[in-house]
Amino acid sequence: MADTVSRFIPATGPEIERMLNVLGLSSVDDLIGQVVPRGDMFQGSLPMASPISEPELVHELKRLALLNTHTDQVLSFLGAGAYKHGIPSAISHLVDRGEFLTAYTPYQPEISQGTLQAMYEFQTMVCELFGMDVANASTYDGASALAEALSMAHRVLRGRRPRAILAGAIHPDYRATCVTYSRAGPISLAHLPPRRDGRVSIQDLSRQLDRETCCVAVQSPNFYGLLEDLPVICPLVHDAGALLVVVVTDPHACALLRSPGELGADIVVGEGQALGIPLSMGGPHLGLFATRRRYLRQLPGRLVGRTVDSQGQRGFVLTLATREQHIRRARATSNICTNQGLCALMVSIYLSLLGPDGLRQVAMQSHSNALYLKKAISALPGFDLVYNAPFFHELVIRTPVPAARVVEEMLPDGFFAGLPMDRFPGGRSHELLICATEVLGKEQMDSFLSRLARFRGNATPARGA
Amino acid sequence: MSTVKTTSGTNGLLQSEPLLFERSVEGRTGWRPATSGVPLADDLPEDLLRQAPMRLPELSEPEVVRHYTRLSQWNYSIDTGLYPLGSCTMKYNPRVAEDLAALDGFAQLHPWQPVETLQGALHVMAFVEDSLKALTGLHAVTLQPAAGAHGELLGLLLIRACQESRGDPRSKILVPASAHGTNPASASMAGYQAVEVPAGPDGILEVDTVARLMDDQVAGLMVTHPNTLGLYERNLSSICKVVHEAGGLVYGDGANLNALMGIVRPGDLGMDVMHFNLHKTFSTPHGGGGPGAGPVAVTQELEPFLPVPVIHRGDPLTLEWDRPNSVGRVRSFYGNFGVVLRAASYIMEMGAQGLTHASRMAILNANYLRVRLSKAFEVAFPQPCMHEVILTDRLQRAHGVQTIDIAKRLMDYGFHPPTVYFPLVVPHAMMIEPTETESLDELDAFADALIQVAREAGQQPDTLKSAPSRPSLGRLDEVGAARFPDLRYDFDSTQ
């Protein structure tokens, strides 16, 4: 008897019978038998467990949650594309309202004005962050946003320039995503490794730039936390007739620094997680995507626009859908349909709570904390800084023992000490990427530093003793 | 209107609410950032520092909370009422999943944590992978794609990689005319030319049509099953054979999997790759347009090409990165873990019997509406349907009333309209998917409202053409919005 009662399925036995009567059938099996050929039907039983109650479910998932160690139980110095900043409580209370949480894409604007107005506000705030003219209503994450940006640049230049240059230290996952997206597409990727100081080599870049290049993508702050020299890079790229794509993985940086738009970027993509979205093991996060107005028609993803109703009242609708897959099909600017609407809403609420000052203070405190670590670590025997260029809130340090060992040995003492760079192809074994945000206190950083200091002894034997 | 039970949300008090930027007052703030005890300092080069402050709104917390609470009240949602969007599977979203996703042990996990500190999370992921394998009869699953269309792109890249490794790269892919727009768009992104396949007169793909189109340049067929007409593709297993014999592979769009759980396993029919929409079939909330998750299941032959990392089922669970044939990755980290977790909680609670029951009741509800509405409307395909049914406005057009008018008028009765003007192969379609989580009362109220609207189409067509009248805004000018795009607040002029 398959008609088991579920608390999410209201139909009772007698109601099922009433419906079957209307259909002139005597059982649900008869109905399905009318539609599904016998040979197609699954005859076995699914190798899955039986239904359980909510308390049992909660118990089981709490048990699994306890098998994890999370970032509130230790001191975490992990960043590298996912950042632990303070998250206002109001955000989850607001996005958990059923009217936001359980609405679909706002295809019927008269009864979706809440989502639509919030997305119009979101688009405006993303433009302000990045100093750009237009932003879409979000994409999946920073990595896929970058892959989409390369295709967009290729379209903007009418497909005549097949090459995209990924310059300097771009997040390895972002790079890998671009490689995968380009497997079948018309774009060939050129990788321009960072020079010794961890940043884009201007000489190499100008040598690489040619009439085949549709765009140059630069992450700043880059994967090592360093600020790229965009004021120099940008005119170089434009002189070659290419577009500059700037990637931002923690938009707090934009509160402190001249915006990518001000520096001349044509497309800015980023990861919005740092702005009020829980880490959640890497997703759902949020792809940010902004550009110049003149490239609007090549923008992927949904857009919300202002309009009026039949009475002339202000309202908002999804617009410029002729770029999108449900209208343009094979010739759409992207296949994207579902985006990250609720995450965009989280970021909107975060930005409206923090405002320009709050955002700047978070950025300043994060930077100051990282600067504090930088100074202290450079004075630790056996440790060193790998790069010395201006940075935001992440830095790569050279460790006296393999970085993976630092991470492993510090874990039992309650630290996520950072990300060993040799996790990535070409990464060096004694380099550790660390991150500081505003939520780390001075005492916590001091305990991290004194634990780090203990590595010097078992690495290099003290000389001259 | 009085004879029809309405559930309109517009009976309550509706506040007007300006834009955030219009509410902003200089000097207010809604957050006190943490201070660490480290004095603020900066050593940043002057020429890189921001000069002009960002024009973000300045508001206190109560104002922000009120702003978004008021906005929320302008939304229709599953929690408000029946949301019959065809092929969108707007079923109820269990609240417990939100609590579980918010547990610190999940929400506060950093993706770069050492793998031994992520064991619980990996178990959740492995559980969902195994469940999807069980439901489809396929061999392996990746959870990485962030949404259905993202899964489509990945699935097609897997097909491409597989055929290239066979030394048989191909350039085209067959896509039925009734497919979602994402299918041809994903095909383009994966480097394929989409070739449209017409269905037979009864809306079903025919073996001969597919056989005729298959050649050594056709990589395979993308097929939504059941299709977007709500119909069971009864020739599919024969079609899969034909495609395979010609060296092709079959991609299954899982948008409509809610009709099949425990009834048919797509892998048994011969599908090679399939994506899922966890935000449809597995009840994770749509969030006003996402986040979703679009896992992909594949046959054994395609497994080596899956994105990295994959979960290796040892004790402890580990992540495998070294997979030389992998297509790489389609996004950062491990996919939308938070969405996968919500799906896990749904699958665990429902179990095999619950999921099967869900599909059976989804089919019953759709067929009940089909029969109840078959007098007032033309049903595009009168045979029994799966989980959704398509009506048209043919009977109403005589009165000058169109699908859009019917859809807008339905709002006045308190319901969200169906998916309209899709699929494109049915002119002026209204595609209704009630899902299993609607009660008979609610189905009847919805049917009564639609029948009443059909009656009004003959008696007072102007009411329909000027609908809706009960939401806070009337019909919105979408043409004007596209002609003069206003996509962000203009700080420099008063709007």
Q: Same domain for B108 and B151?
A: yes
Size of interface A-B (CB pairs under 8 A): 723
CATH code of residue B132: 3.40.640.10
Using an 8 Å CB-CB cutoff, list chain A residues near B31: 86, 88, 353-355, 358
Phi-psi category of residue B53: left, alpha or beta, with phi > 0 → left and psi -120 to 50 → alpha: beta
Q: Both tokens of residue B238?
A: 């024969």
Q: Is residue B250 part of a domain?
A: yes
Q: Which of A350, A366, A393 is the last residue of a domain?
A: A350
Q: Residue written as tokens 């894409």?
A: A105
Q: Which of A280, A315, A350 is the last residue of a domain?
A: A350
Q: Quick one: pLDDT at residue A326?
A: 86
Res. A323 pLDDT band, cuts 50 70 90: confident
Q: Quick one: pLDDT at residue A457?
A: 53
The yes/no answer to whether this complex scores an ipTM above 0.95 is yes
- Structural domain count of chain B: 2
CATH code of residue B431: 3.90.1150.10
Say if the Cβ atoms of A331 and B286 lie within 8 Å. Answer: no
Q: Is residue A458 part of a domain?
A: no
For B416, the closest of A108, A141, A438 (CB atoms) is A108
Q: Which of A334, A341, A335 is nearest to A284 (CA)?
A: A341
Q: What CA–CA distance (Å, rounded) separates B40 from B38?
A: 6
Q: Quick one: pLDDT at residue B65?
A: 98
Compute the Cα dihedral for A344, A346, A350, A353 and give only its sign.
positive
Contact of A279 with chain B, judged by CB distance below 8 Å, is answered with yes
Q: Quick one: pLDDT at residue B9?
A: 46
Q: Quick one: pLDDT at residue B12?
A: 64
Q: Which of B96, B361, B416, B307 is nearest to A3 (CA)?
A: B361
Q: In degrees to the nearest 10, what's the CA dihedral of A164, A170, A173, A174?
A: -40
Q: Which of A316, A350, A384 is the last residue of a domain?
A: A350
Q: Same domain for B272 and B134?
A: yes
Q: Quick one: pLDDT at residue A464?
A: 36
Query: What single letter denotes the amino acid at residue B98?
Result: E
How far B458 CA lies from chain A's nearest CA (Å)?
23
Q: Same domain for A287 and A147?
A: yes
- In B453-492, the residues whose Cβ lies within 8 Å of chain A are 466, 468, 471-478, 480-482, 485-489
CATH code of residue A293: 3.40.640.10
Query: What is the average per-residue pLDDT within A125-137?
Result: 97
CATH code of residue A373: 3.90.1150.10
Counts for chain A of helices (H) and strands (E), in that order: 15, 15
Q: Same domain for B415 and B336?
A: no
Contact of B28 with chain A, judged by CB distance below 8 Å, is answered with yes
SS3 label, residue B22: helix
Using an 8 Å CB-CB cutoff, list chain A residues near B473: 109-110, 113, 309, 311, 313, 315
Is residue B74 a contact partner of residue B41, using CB atoms and an 8 Å limit? no
| Number of other CB atoms surrounding residue B26 within 10 Å | 7
Q: Quick one: pLDDT at residue A324?
A: 87
Q: Quick one: pLDDT at residue B2?
A: 44
Q: Both tokens of residue A34?
A: 């009318």
Q: What CA–CA distance (Å, rounded) separates A121 from B64?
A: 13
Q: Same domain for B342 and B374?
A: no
Query: What is the average per-residue pLDDT within A259-282?
Result: 98
Q: What CA–CA distance (Å, rounded) separates A99 from A106?
A: 12
Query: What is the average per-residue pLDDT within A250-273?
Result: 97
For chain A, give the mean pLDDT. Answer: 95
Q: Same domain for B316 and B443?
A: no
Q: Residue written as tokens 């950042």?
A: A83
Q: What is the pLDDT along chain B (495 residues), one digit of tens a residue?
A: 445 555 544 556 777 899 999 999 999 999 999 999 999 987 898 888 998 889 999 999 999 999 999 999 999 999 999 999 999 999 999 999 999 999 999 999 999 999 999 999 999 999 999 999 999 999 999 999 999 999 999 999 999 999 999 999 999 999 999 999 999 999 999 999 999 999 999 999 999 999 999 999 999 999 999 999 999 999 999 999 999 999 999 999 999 999 999 999 999 999 999 999 999 999 999 999 999 999 999 999 999 999 999 999 999 999 999 999 999 999 999 999 999 999 999 999 999 999 999 999 999 999 999 999 999 999 999 999 999 999 999 999 999 999 999 999 999 999 999 999 999 999 999 999 999 999 999 999 999 999 999 999 999 999 999 999 999 899 999 999 999 999 999 998 754
Say if the Cβ atoms of B350 and A6 lie within 8 Å. Answer: yes
- In A104-163, the residues whose Cβ lies within 8 Å of chain B are 104-115, 117-121, 123-125, 127-129, 133-135, 137-138, 140-144, 151
- Structural domain count of chain A: 2
Instruction: Write down the H helix ranges in B94-251.
Output: 96-101, 104-107, 119-136, 148-165, 182-189, 207-213, 236-245
Res. A338 pLDDT band, cuts 50 70 90: confident
Element (H, E) at B319: strand B318-320
Q: Is residue B399 part of a domain?
A: yes
Query: What is the average per-residue pLDDT within A399-419?
Result: 98
Give the structural domain span for A277: 89-350
Q: Same domain for A128 and A206?
A: yes
Is residue B228 a contact partner of residue B422, using CB atoms and an 8 Å limit? yes
Res. A92 pLDDT band, cuts 50 70 90: very high
SS3 label, residue B59: coil
Q: Same domain for A125 and A102?
A: yes
Element (H, E) at B18: none
Q: Both tokens of residue B332?
A: 């950062």
Q: Is residue B24 part of a domain?
A: no
* B297 HSE (CA, 13 A, CB side): 27
Angle at which helix B337-373 crosses helix A28-35, to 10 degrees, equals 90
Q: Same domain for A374 and A326?
A: no
Q: Same domain for A282 and A140?
A: yes
Q: Same domain for B292 and B361?
A: no
Task: Give burial (CB, 10 Å; 0-12/13-18/19+) of A261.
Answer: buried
- Residue % of chain A over a pLDDT of 70: 97
Q: Which of A11, A76, A284 is nearest to B286 (CA)?
A: A284
- Interface probe for B, chosen from A335, A353, A411, A422 (most Cβ of B below 10 Å), is A335
Compute the Cα dihedral for A118, B87, B85, B427 and give only its sign.
positive
Query: What single letter denotes the amino acid at residue B113?
Result: Q
Give the structural domain span for B410: 354-476
Using an 8 Å CB-CB cutoff, list chain A residues near B436: 8-9, 11
Q: Same domain for B137 and B242?
A: yes
For A94, the closest of B68, B85, B478 (CB atoms) is B68
Q: Same domain for B160 and B176?
A: yes
For A125, the closest of B56, B292, B334 (CB atoms) is B56
Q: Same domain for A328 and A376?
A: no
